[in-house]
Chains A and B, each alone.
Chain A
Amino acid sequence: MKIGKMTIQETEDEIVEEFEMFGDWSEKFEHIIALGKKLPSFPAELQLEENKVRGCQSNVWLTTDLRDGKIHLEGDSDALIVKGLVALVLKVYSDHTPDEIINTPLTFIQRLGLSASLSPTRSNGLDSMIKKIKFYALAYKAKMNS
C-alpha cells in the first residue's frame, strides 16, 4: 500500500485490479451499484441546472472547487449505475492539480470491459462529465497563473 495520495494512473490501475476479481457481469454491476448507493446524493439545492451535465438518458451533476491548488470534485446521477461510475471518476480525478487532470486521460472505464453502454458516451452523460472536468481544470489553471 502506497503512503500518501496516489497518482491518477495508480488509482485507475487499482480500480481495474479490483474489478478483475469479479467473475460475471452481475458481480461487476453489484459492485458499481454498491458504489452508487454509497455516494451521497446531492441535496436538492445543488441539483441545479448549472451543475447539470446533461446526458441523453441519465442526468449527471458535478460541482468543483479549488482547495490548496487541487480540484475537489463532487458528483451525482439519477441513474444508479452511472452514479457508481461517477463515484469512480471522482475517486480517480478528485483532489488532483489542474495539470495532473489535464495531462492524464481517463482509461479505466474502457479497461473494465463492461459494455458499450457504459463507456463514456453522450447517452449516459459520463462523456460530458469528463469533458467538463477537463474544462474546469483548464479554467482553474488559467486562474492560478493569472
Chain B
Amino acid sequence: MSSAATNITPLNITSIREDFPILHQKVHGKPLIYFDNAATSQKPQLVIDRINQYYTKENSNIHRGTYYLSELASNAYEGARDAIQKQFNAEKREEIIFVRGATEGINLVASSWGRKNLKAGDDVLITGMEHHANIVPWQQICIEKGAKLKVLPVDDNGQIHIDEFESMISEHTKFISVVHVSNGIGSINPVKEMIAIAHKHNIPVLVDGCQAVPHRKIDVQDLDADFYTFSGHKVFGPTGTGILYGKEKFLEDMPPYQMGGDMIKFVSFEHTTFNSLPYKFEAGTPHISGGIGLATAFEYVDSIGRENIEAYENELLHYADEKFNEVDGIRILGNTKNKIPVFSFVVEGTHPFDIGTMLDFEGVAIRTGNHCTQPLMERFGVSASCRASLAFYNTKEEVDNFIIALNKVIKMLK
C-alpha cells in the first residue's frame, strides 16, 4: 500500500465531478456535500451507462442459453470476472466468487469453512475494530461449534499492535478474520505482516477489504491473503455486488454455501454432484448487470489512476485533519496517521444525531450512529459518533464549507 512519489498526475477534480451526475444537485437549497462514502460511494456515468446498456441490449440469463443474447450476457459477466481477477492479481479466475457484498462473503466462509473445520476448544481471532458483519458470523459459528471468539485490542490511537497480535495466537487458533481498513475510524491495519505471522502458524486469514478497495490497489498474492472480500457499492459500483476471493485450495475443500441452479453438475432426487469453482458457490441467477457494472467501476478507477487517487486523498486527508481539529470541542476517534480520509468525531455537549440531522439542512450528508461497530464505539467510550468519510471526488472547498456548517450547527445546539 505504498505509492511511488513519481508518476503522480494531479487529479482534475472539476472534470472528475462531472463524471458523477448525483453530485450536482441541491439539498434543502444548498449544494450537496456528500461525505458518507464509507457507507456507499456514488456511481460514475460510465457505470450507470454500462448497466443501462446491459438491460437495453444484452439482458438474458447466463450460462444456459443457446442463443445470441445469452452468449453476449455470459461473455460480459465472465469477462467481468476476468477483469476483477486481473484487478486483484488473483492467480486463477476460479478464485473469484461473485457475492452480494462483503457480508455474504464473510458469511460464506464462516458458514462453509467454519462449519467444516471448527470444533470445540478452537479459537477464531478477530480485531476490536471489526464491522458487525465480521463479528456476528464468527461469533455465531463459534457458539454452534463450542469454539471461542478472541478479540485483538485496539489502542487509544485506534491502532492494533503486531506483537500483541502474535502473542494472541496459540495452538487453539484455527482462523483469523481481520478488517483491512476500519470503517469506523479509518485506520489501515498491517494485514500483510499479520498474514505472514498467521501463516507461520498455518492459520488461514480472511481480510475484510470493504474500506480498503475504494482507496488502494489490492494485490491478493502480494498480501498472501487466503480470503479477501469487499462490497462493490463502496467502490463506485452497483449495490448488491461484491467479491469473495479465496485461494483455490481452500475453496476446493469447502462445501457449497447455498444450493440451487448453476452450482450443480448432476441432480437426481437422491444425489447431487456439485459444479466446479467458481460456480459451486454461485447458486441461482446472479446479479449479472451488477457484476458487469462492478468491472466497469474498476475500469473507471484505473482510468483515473490508483496512485493519483491515493496521492490526492492523502492531501485531502491532511487538509481536512487540520480543519477538523480546529473545531471547538471536537474529539476525533482514533488519531493514527496511517488512515484513509474518514473522520469519526464527537463534539462536547452535543449528540451526534442532532448534528447529523441539522447538517442535512446545510446540504451535508454524513453518517451518525455506531457505524455497525458497537464494540469499537464502546472502546472509545461513546455510544455514537458522527462520521465524515471522503472520496476522491470531494474537494477542499467542500471541507471548508462542511466546517462552516458544522460550526453553525454546534453553535445552535449549545
A: residues with CB less than 8 A from B are 25-26, 29-30, 33, 56-58, 78-82, 115, 117-118, 123-124
Q: What's the minimum C-beta distance from A80 to chain B, rounded to whole angstroms?
A: 5
Task: Report the bound CA distance from A123 to B367 in whole Å.
Answer: 12
Cβ of A31 to closest chain B Cβ, rounded Å: 11
Please measure, in the bound complex, the distance between the C-alpha atom of A124 and the C-alpha atom of B412, giving whole angstroms: 19
- Is the Cβ of B354 less than 8 Å from the Cβ of A25? no
The answer for the CA separation of A7 and B354 in the assembled complex, in Å, is 30
Q: How far is the CB of A82 from chain B (nearest CB, A)?
A: 7
How many whole Å from A78's CB to the nearest CB in chain B? 6
- Is there contact, CB below 8 Å, between B353 and A82? yes
Q: Does B306 contact A (CB under 8 A)?
A: no
Q: Report how far A81 CA is from B351 CA in the complex, Å.
A: 9
Are the CB atoms of A57 and B353 closer together than 8 Å?
yes
Does B384 make an interface contact (CB < 8 A)? Answer: yes
Does A81 lie within 8 Å of B353, measured CB to CB? Answer: yes
Q: Which of B350, B351, B352, B357 contacts A117 (CB 8 A)?
A: B357
The 6 closest A-B pairs by CB, nearest first: A79-B351, A79-B353, A25-B361, A58-B353, A57-B353, A57-B369
Q: Of A30, A56, A115, which is within 8 A of B357 by CB?
A: A115
Given contacts A56-B369, A57-B368, A57-B384, contact A124 B360 (CB under 8 A): no
Distance in Å: Cβ of A118 to nearest Cβ of chain B: 6
Name 10 extra pairs, CB < 8 A, besides A57-B369, A80-B350, A124-B353.
A26-B361, A33-B354, A33-B413, A57-B356, A58-B351, A79-B353, A80-B413, A81-B358, A82-B354, A117-B360
Are the C-beta atoms of A29 and B353 separated by less than 8 Å? Answer: no
CB contact under 8 A between A78 and B351, given known A26-B412, A57-B384: yes
Please report the C-alpha to C-alpha distance between residue A80 and residue B369 in the assembled complex, in whole angstroms: 15
Q: In chain B, what residue has the closest Cβ to A116?
A: B360
Between-chain CB contacts (< 8 Å), 25 pairs: A25-B361, A26-B361, A29-B358, A29-B361, A30-B412, A33-B413, A57-B352, A57-B353, A57-B356, A57-B368, A57-B369, A58-B353, A78-B351, A79-B351, A79-B353, A79-B354, A80-B351, A80-B413, A82-B353, A82-B354, A115-B28, A115-B357, A117-B356, A118-B357, A123-B353
Given A33-B412, A57-B384, A115-B360, A81:B369 Cβ within 8 A: no
| Given A33-B413, A56-B369, A57-B384: A81 and B357 interface contact (C-beta under 8 Å) | yes
Chain B contact residue count (CB 8 A cutoff): 16
Which A residues are CB-close (under 8 A) to B352?
57
B353 cross-chain contacts in A, Cβ below 8 A: 57-58, 79, 81-82, 123-124
Of all chain A residues, the one with the shortest Cβ separation from B361 is A25
| Min CB–CB distance B344 → chain A (angstroms) | 14
Summarize B's interface: helix, strand, loop or mixed. helix
Asked if B412 and A115 make an inter-chain contact with CB atoms under 8 angstroms apart, the answer reads no
* CB-defined contacts of A57 to chain B, threshold 8 Å: 352-353, 356, 368-369, 384
Bits for B346-366, please: 1 = Cβ < 8 Å to A, else 0. Answer: 000011111011101100000
Tell me the complex Cα distance, A124–B369, Å.
10
Residues of A within 8 A of B350 (CB): 80
> Nearest Cβ distance between residue B124 and chain A, in whole angstroms?
28
Taken together as a complex, chains A and B put the C-alpha atoms of A56 and B356 apart, in Å, by: 14
A56 to B352, CA, bound (A): 12
Chain B hits for A118, CB < 8 A: 357
B276 → chain A closest CB, angstroms: 43
Q: A57-B368, A117-B356 are in contact. Are A25 and B28 (CB under 8 A)?
A: yes
For the complex formed, measure the closest distance between the CB of A87 and the CB atoms of chain B, giving whole angstroms: 14
> CA A118 – CA B356 in complex, angstroms?
11
Contacts of A30 in B (CB 8 A): 412
Nearest residue, chain B, Cβ from A81: B354
Beta-carbon nearest neighbor of B413 in chain A: A80
Chain A nearest CB from B284 CB (Å) reads 30
A80–B414 CA distance with the chains assembled, in angstroms: 10
B404 to chain A, nearest CB (A): 13
Residues in A whose Cβ lies below 8 Å from that of B358:
29, 81
Q: How far is the CA of A5 from the CA of B111 in the complex (A)?
A: 60
Taking a contact as CB atoms closer than 8 A, the residue among A29, A58, A82 that contacts B412 in the complex is A29
Kindly provide the distance from the CB of A127 to the nearest chain B CB, expressed in whole angstroms. 14
- Inter-chain CA distance A80–B360, complex, in Å, is 16
**Alpha-carbon gap, A34 to B28, bound state (A):** 22
Q: Which chain B positions have C-beta within 8 A of A81? A: 353-354, 357-358
**Chain B's nearest CB lies how many Å from the CB of A60?**
11
The residue of chain B having its C-beta at the shortest distance from the C-beta of A55 within the complex is: B353
For A30, A33, A58, which residue has the most chain B Cβ atoms within 10 angstroms? A58
Q: Which residue of B has the minimal Cβ distance to A56?
A: B369
- Contact at A80–B356, with CB atoms within 8 Å? no
For A78, the chain B residues whose CB sits under 8 A away are: 351
